[in-house]
Amino acid sequence: MTRTTLSVRNTPRRILFLYRRLFGQQLKAILEYSSDFYVMIGAAAFTQIVGFLFLWVVFSRIPVIQGWGFWEVAFMYAMIYFSEGVGSLFFEGTWRMLRLVNMGELDRYLVRPMPIVLQIFCTGIGMNGIGNIAIGGAIIGMSLYHVDIDWSITSVLSALVVLASALAVRIGINLAANCSAFWIRTSGNAFPIMVHNMGEFAKYPITIYSLGLQLFLALGVPFAFVSFVPAAVLFGKEDWAAYGWLSPLAAAYVFGIALLLLRIGLRRYESSGN
Amino acid sequence: MSLIEAKGLRKVFRQAVKEPGLRGAVKHLFTQRYVDKHAVDGIDLTIREGETVAYVGPNGAGKSTTIKMLSGVLVPTSGELRVDGFVPHKQRMENAVRIGAVFGQRTQLWWDIPVRESLNLLKDIYQVPEDAFRRNLDAFVELLGMEEFIHLSARKLSLGQRMRADLAAALLHDPKIVYLDEPTIGLDVSVKQKIRSFIKQMNRDKGTTLLLTTHDLGDIEDLCERLVIIDHGRIIYDGSLQAVKDAFARERTIHLQLGSELAEPSLLFSDLPEVGMDRTGPYRLAIRFDRFRITASEIVKRIISQADVADFHIDEPNIESIIRRVYEGSLDLELAAESPVAASREA
């Protein structure tokens, strides 16, 4: 027997390939436990029904605010909901960081030649995300239908960029908040859940809040880029649409912070005793 | 060329000091006190390619912490460390393709998917070429007897099966170095044998360097040429296994079957207080002695002067008792430091 020399090059293509492989295997594992699968289908169906009831409640609660129409606010509301679903379905692993850190399960990730972030993302699949995606997606579709939008190639392209950035910001916030696991060991997920709940503010146009809160939602924990900015761009709100250009920057900023926190956190990581 | 080079390697964990009870907990909220725990306290370790090293010590001595630093899991507090020229925690990926690790208590496999699929995933993660993968997989399945369980998911495996699958997973990409943290803990004899002969073959055929922590002395005697003993985060012995046996095996025990009662047992070794005498039954004696202070024949001569000796035999200490006594500090380490360590450093 001879030894083969291996190389490590993580091109974006390879990362995508590994993500698909890991995600696919997880999904297969879930589907193979057929009893779990049926429970899951049942739960998903139940979520849908609750979801539509919820939708009805949502519509009854959405106000018309400061020049934002009903469907425009509904869109923002739905973006928070939808991005949460994407976060749990495809990036559920961020929510398992507490366990990974406290149980010393990161050991296994650290000895493998692929990015830690990728491995964290692929730690699990949150099937409940399907419900959020379906309902959120439905409301987004309805609002795009109801609002008069001037579709052109540029508007479609900018919409795609802004929406992709919105999802990236959301995932980045999840990741950054869950990095608290390296510092806060005993209070469960309280901190990341608190950060997560700040998303509630962004279900409405941030212009209704005080300047401090607006700045916080734009610069601190930039949920504004998940809902408000995409809405402004899509619906052509002149005062705010220009901020759309900052969307990819906001995504880079959030991910940069998240990766930095992860790096610092990993230096503190203590594994666990045997 | 040395594959692993550690100089003054140190890992300090900060532990919160909490007073008991609710009052202590509340107090801790405001005034946090910490103590530093020196898990690994400045070790120097050089391992050459192809060496087989047993890294032993009592629980909490710093074995796992060392291995976790070498494998890039933990960041050293201070000191220098290079593995095949790379700094593990900084060049994590380069390090990762060169090493294989089995952390005994914890599986590297995916819990819910069949072992075969796990190995396939690892093939993609490590980018193992198809032909090398086939070759290794076929060899491993046969050597480790994995045919019967390779289609099962890790959660359904017995401990012995899981350990074998983990070993295959750790070696699939032909790592230069393998770290095994307690690889045979809790396994039955036949599985232990399989695992040991597999590891031996990897070392022999591929020149895989091996660093092994274990409490199982059979593992050490079977697999390792070199012994490193760590205690309280410091290396207290580093040399060949044979040298530690020679240096420390001063103690002998002579077992005697007597034909009559001793006339005056208290006078027998009154000039040599370190000689220990135990009655192990009627007309039976066990006498422990230092073979550099008194010879076996001298002991037998003294006994014969007081009683008939029907039969006797001499026991050499086994490696287990030697190592235990090194931990306990009852063996003179200076003695070992003079010969074997110096010899191995020069080599």
Task: Specify whether B99 is located in the same domain as B139.
Answer: yes
Q: Is the pLDDT of residue A239 over 70?
A: yes
Residue B331 lies in a domain: no
Q: H or E segment at B255? A: strand B251-258
Q: Is the pLDDT of residue A165 over 50?
A: yes
Dihedral over alpha carbons A254, A255, A259, A260 (to 10 degrees): -40
- Residue B99 and residue A114: Cβ atoms within 8 Å? no
Task: Specify whether B105 is located in the same domain as B15.
Answer: yes
Residues spanned by the domain of A38:
21-268
Domain count, chain B: 2
Tell me the C-alpha distance between B308 and B257, whole Å.
Answer: 9
More reliable by pLDDT, B236 or A121: A121
Q: Is the pLDDT of residue A112 over 90?
A: yes
Task: Specify whether B65 is located in the same domain as B79.
Answer: yes
Residue B329 lies in a domain: no
B94, B31 Cβ separation under 8 angstroms: no
Write down which residue in B192, B219, B245 finishes a domain: B245
Residue A203 lies in a domain: yes
Q: Residue B41 pairs with which residues in a beta bridge?
A: B10
Residue B345 lies in a domain: no
Name residue, tokens 């004696």: B285
Residue A83 banded pLDDT, cuts 50, 70, 90:
very high
CATH code, domain with B302: 3.30.70
Is the Cβ of A28 closer than 8 Å to some Cβ of chain B? yes
B68, A107 Cβ separation under 8 angstroms: yes
What is the residue-averaged pLDDT of chain A?
87
Which of B100, B101, B4 has its CA nearest to residue B48? B4
Q: What pLDDT sits at residue B300?
A: 86
- From B174's Cα to the closest Cα of chain A, the distance in A is 6
Tell me the C-alpha distance between B170 and B174, whole Å.
Answer: 8
Residue A230 lies in a domain: yes
Residue B305 lies in a domain: yes
Residue B303 lies in a domain: yes
**Ranges of chain B whose pLDDT falls below 70:** 1, 247-249, 317-320, 329-347
pLDDT digits (tens, 9 = 90+) for A31-78: 877 676 677 767 766 776 776 677 677 777 777 777 888 888 889 989
Residue A41 lies in a domain: yes
Q: What pLDDT sits at residue A34?
A: 63
Q: Residue A65 pairs with which residues in a beta bridge?
A: A68
Residue B143 lies in a domain: yes
Task: Specify whether B287 is located in the same domain as B238.
Answer: no
Q: What pLDDT sits at residue B344?
A: 40
Residue A62 lies in a domain: yes
Residue B332 lies in a domain: no
Q: Which amino acid is at B154?
A: A
Q: Collect all residues of chain A within an 8 Å Cβ-Cβ radius of residue B135.
A: 1
pLDDT digits (tens, 9 = 90+) for A135-155: 889 889 999 998 888 888 988
Task: Specify whether B258 is located in the same domain as B168.
Answer: no
Task: Specify whether B172 is located in the same domain as B307.
Answer: no
A199, A80 Cβ separation under 8 angstroms: yes
Is the Cβ of A19 closer than 8 Å to some Cβ of chain B? no
R_g (Cα) of chain A, nearest Å: 20
Q: What pLDDT sits at residue A7?
A: 66
Task: Specify whether B101 is located in the same domain as B221.
Answer: yes
- Residue A274 and residue B68: Cβ atoms within 8 Å? no
CATH code, domain with B22: 3.40.50.300
Which residues are CB-contacts of B61 (< 8 A; sequence separation ≥ 6)? B230, B231, B232, B233
Task: Specify whether B155 is located in the same domain as B182.
Answer: yes
Least confident of A6-10, A18-22, A88-92, B4-8: A6-10
Task: Specify whether B10 is located in the same domain as B136.
Answer: yes
Task: Specify whether B274 is located in the same domain as B222.
Answer: no
Mean pLDDT comparison of A8-12, A111-115, A182-186, B319-323, highest-scoring range: A111-115
Residue A16 lies in a domain: no
Residue B347 lies in a domain: no
Residues spanned by the domain of B63:
2-245
Share of chain A above pLDDT 70, in %: 92
pLDDT digits (tens, 9 = 90+) for B226-281: 999 998 999 988 988 877 777 666 778 888 888 888 777 777 787 877 788 888 88
Is the Cβ of B126 closer than 8 Å to some Cβ of chain A? yes
